[in-house]
Structures are given as structure tokens and as C-alpha cells.
Structure 1
Amino acid sequence: MLLQGKTIVVTGGNSGIGEQICLAAAAEGANIVIDYVAHPEATDALIKKIEDAGGKAVGVDADITKAADLQTMVQTAVDTFGRLDVLVNNAGMEDRKSLLEETEEGYDRLMAVNMKSAFFATQHAAKQFIAQGDGGLVLNISSVHEDWPMPGNIAYCVSKGGMRMLARTGGVELGAHGIRIVNIAPGAVDTPINTATTTDPEKLKQLDAAIPLGRLAKPEEIADVVVFLASGKAGYMTATTVTIDGGITQGSVGL
């Protein structure tokens, strides 16, 4: 098993990409800490699914927009499984507003969920990694929009651009401690965040046509990349981004 004995925290872990990361990592032997802020029943169901398959998992109700809750999240991993090996900053949101439409309240909320949470979760995880003394890994579920404009969704793009520099600057700062930070940048993925597109046949047809591989990614395909990066088989990678987008950023203008 690729992740035997490793403890992995996944923010926003009870749905979408996060859920598939939890399942894939558990199947490879990892101990899973599932962070969530809503739908505890979904977390309970996911834990049962993991445990029924022979894995280990625990849920933690932590508001990722609050640094103190993020510390609790990290401590839950340590208290339950003895250590932390990998943090996956997966939780995110978008609000599909342009520069002229965005509100202060909307901007602050989006940046807290997408950027502030990743920043302070990384900080708390890094301190734990340093205390353990044998390095660690932070994986950020970013987006192709950390580098690729998406008109009409500007705050989301700004938050992912910030995550890009979190990986690059943080990776440089923490390299001496054996701590790595790698971003994973999906393109269009078939998750609830894209429901408005996937439930509209015309919009879905337009999006599929813009992707060289002709379809959205499955959440499981993103999870597979997480497992690979967490396995140690990419141990020389840090301060960079792995793009998994079906070629969309090479094959079309921004959508």
C-alpha cells in the first residue's frame, strides 16, 4: 500500500473531490482526518464506508476560516493517530461575480474559505511537522485559475493566484525543514461546484467541446494524483503546481 501508516488531513473532506481523496487515501492504508463544517451525517457515512473497507478515519467539525479551529484540526490528527504526515487543503468555494459585481462581504468570505484557511492550516501543519522532526507535505487543491483568467469569477481566481504563491514562497521557506508544498490544479471537474454547468446541456456541451479530452474530470482522477504525490514517489517536488485539466488551458480561451 502506497500510504500505509501515514496520517492525512483533508479539509472539506465529506463531499466532492475531498470525499474521493479520503476514500482513495484510505484504500492505500492512510489514516484519514475528515474536516467538515456541514452535513455531519455525510461525514459519518464516509467514516463508516472507510472503516467497512478496513481503513481508519475520524471526523472533526472545524471552521477552516478560524485559525484556532485549524489548530484543533491538526491536533485531532495527532491525538487520534499520533502524528501528521500530509495536509490536503481541499475546501473551497466560488461566487461567480465580476470585478464590478463583487461585494466586500462576498470577497471576504471567499478569501477566508479559499486562501486564509490554506495559509493558516499550512502554518499549523508546518509547526507540527517541525516538532516531529521528519518533514511533511502540504497539498493544495488549487485550480487552473491560479494562472488562467476566468472573467466573471475574479475573486475565485485571485484566491487561487494567492494559493499559487503560498506554494511557491512557503515551499522555499520550509524546504530546509524537509517540508514540501505542492499545488494540484484541476480544470473542470464533475463536482457540486460545477452543477450549474453540468445540469445545463448546452453549457455542458460547450465546456466539453473546449476540453481536448472531451469531458470533465472525475473527482477520482484528482484523488489519484493526491495519492501519488503523498506516496513519496514525488519526493523532490516542492514549490510548484501539478496541472490536471484534460488540456483545457492549452486548447481554448478562458471559459
Structure 2
Amino acid sequence: MTAQTTRLQGRSALVTGAGSGIGRAICGRLCDEGARVACLDRDAAAAKATAEAIGRGAVPVVADVANTADMRRAVEEAVAAFGRLDIAVNAAGVGASARLVDTALETWQRVLDVCLTGVFVSSQAQARQMIAQGGTAVIVNIASTNAQQPGEGLAAYCAAKAGVEMLGRVAALELAPHGIRVAAVGPGLTDTPMVARLLADPVARDAFLDNIPLKRPARPEDIAAAVAYLASDDAAYVTGQTLYVDGGASMQRYPSLAARKPSAPAA
């Protein structure tokens, strides 16, 4: 549904993880509200598909969020296209599930590289541009309820998302004198390609829905709406905070690994 507001009119945004799911929905919502958006993804075809689906001047950008040179170039491309960077949204992420004693170091490192180091590298490049250009600006990071809510089998993901929250709070302190706000959105279970297999399994789906007072997963558009609010002047006095969008799930105990583990596919 198209947003009935132009509160981001004339502003320029860069969104990471734009190729699918939450990132793609954020790109669409920001454009709906009047922003010009650079849609960044590591997958060139996915970035292009998002930009083409949105239209309205959206441009694709290809970069690895954990690569300093890539992100410096990505910010430069966004500024070359739009003249400045007013809004940055760091939505790139990956997941993995294994008990602590079974988690391979490579799996741990991959999750932290994308979900935490990627936010650090991206925020650094974005903030440098925002400071240099002057004026107000905002960075919105996508955290998770798992930043505060532990889940069995999610050591790497929980640690990374907790790091995203604290990194954002430190950045909010340091960047406030420059007129730059930093905030986060913490999604609960969201119906995206990354969790499609889990939601397709009746046992796992029921375990989550029983834990959500509103009795449904979030839609990517629910998360995008929260991001648009934080990016707008409606949130001009909000910095260093995380807005949880989870249907009330974080008031409950996170589903156990046994209850949410998708069953093996039928032979």
C-alpha cells in the first residue's frame, strides 16, 4: 500500500540489503514517502531488480557491506546520483542456527561479518559523508528482538544483533553534535525469504505464533513503516533508541530450539 505522506520529499537514502525481504520493502516505503533511494545489495541482479521494481529514480548499487573500500565507493555512488546522503538504512543480514558447541568458527565469523561488522563499516562510511556535507541526517540500523531475547542455537546472531544495538547507541552519542541521529528497528519474526522454510513448517510456525500476542508474523512492510518514521522529522527527537516491531513477542519467552526446528522434509 502506498504511503499517504510526502514527509521524506527531496531527501536521499541508501539502503543496504535491498535485494529482498525487509531491505526491499524499506526501499519501496522510502520512495513512497518521497525519498530518492540507492538500493544496495551484494547481488547485482537483486539490487537492479529492486531498483527497477520501485522506479521513481531508484538506482542500484553493488557492494559488500563488510568491505571498507566497497562501502566508501557505494556512498560515493549514492552521492553522485543524488547530491547528498540524508538517510542511511543498514538492513543487510544473514542467519545461522546451531548450538554453541556445534557452531563452526566459519559460521560465527560469517554472521558477525555481515550483521555486525557490516553495520560498522557501512555506518562509518555513511557518517563520514554526513559530517562532511553538513546539515541533519539519520542512520537507521536493523537490529532484532534477538538483541535482547536469547534463543537457543542463535549464539552468533544474538551476539551480532546485540552488538548492532550498542554500536548504534555509541554512534548516536558521537554523532549528535553533528546533527546526525542514529536509531534502530528490532523486528520480530518477519515473513521474508530468509525464514520461509521455518514458516512453511507447521511445528515451527505454531511455536512462533503461540509466542506472538498479535498471532501473526510481521510483514516486511511493517518494518519498513517503522524505519520511515525514524527517518522522518516525526522522530526528530529520537536517537540512540531501538523500536521493537514484533507483535508483542519480546514480552514472552523465545520459542525453544526443539519447538521451532523445522522437521525433515518427507522422503
Question: TM-score under structure 1 normalisation?
Answer: 0.95
CA distance in 1, matches of 2:73, 2:153: 35
Given that residues 20 and 223 in structure 1 are in contact (C-alpha distance below 8 angstroms), is that contact kept between their aligned partners in structure 2?
A: yes
Given that residues 148 and 254 in structure 1 are in contact (C-alpha distance below 8 angstroms), is that contact kept between their aligned partners in structure 2?
A: no
Q: How does 1:1-255 map to 2 (within 5 A)?
A: 1-38=6-43, 40-51=44-55, 55-255=56-256
Deviates more, 1:81-90 or 1:226-235: 226-235
CA distance in 1, matches of 2:171, 2:145: 19
* Structure 1 residue 131 displacement after superposition: 0.8
CA distance in 1, matches of 2:204, 2:104: 26
**1:143-195 superposed Cα distances (whole Å, 9 cap, x missing partner):** 01111101111100000010011111111111111111101001110011212
CA distance in 2, matches of 1:168, 1:41: 34
Deviates more, 1:145-154 or 1:42-51: 42-51
CA distance in 2, matches of 1:50, 1:122: 24
3-state SS of the aligned residue for 1:100?
A: helix
CA distance in 1, matches of 2:175, 2:146: 25
CA distance in 2, matches of 1:251, 1:65: 33
CA distance in 2, matches of 1:219, 1:139: 15
* Structure 1 residue 254 displacement after superposition: 4.8
Given that residues 149 and 254 in structure 2 are in contact (C-alpha distance below 8 angstroms), is that contact kept between their aligned partners in structure 1?
A: no
3-state SS of the aligned residue for 1:233?
A: helix
Given that residues 66 and 117 in structure 1 are in contact (C-alpha distance below 8 angstroms), is that contact kept between their aligned partners in structure 2?
A: yes
Identity %: 38
Structure 1 ranges of 4+ moved more than 4 A: none
Given that residues 14 and 89 in structure 2 are in contact (C-alpha distance below 8 angstroms), is that contact kept between their aligned partners in structure 1?
A: yes
* Structure 1 residue 48 displacement after superposition: 2.3
Q: Which amino acid aligns with 2:203?
A: E
The number of aligned residues is: 251
Question: TM-score under structure 2 normalisation?
Answer: 0.91
CA distance in 1, matches of 2:219, 2:95: 19
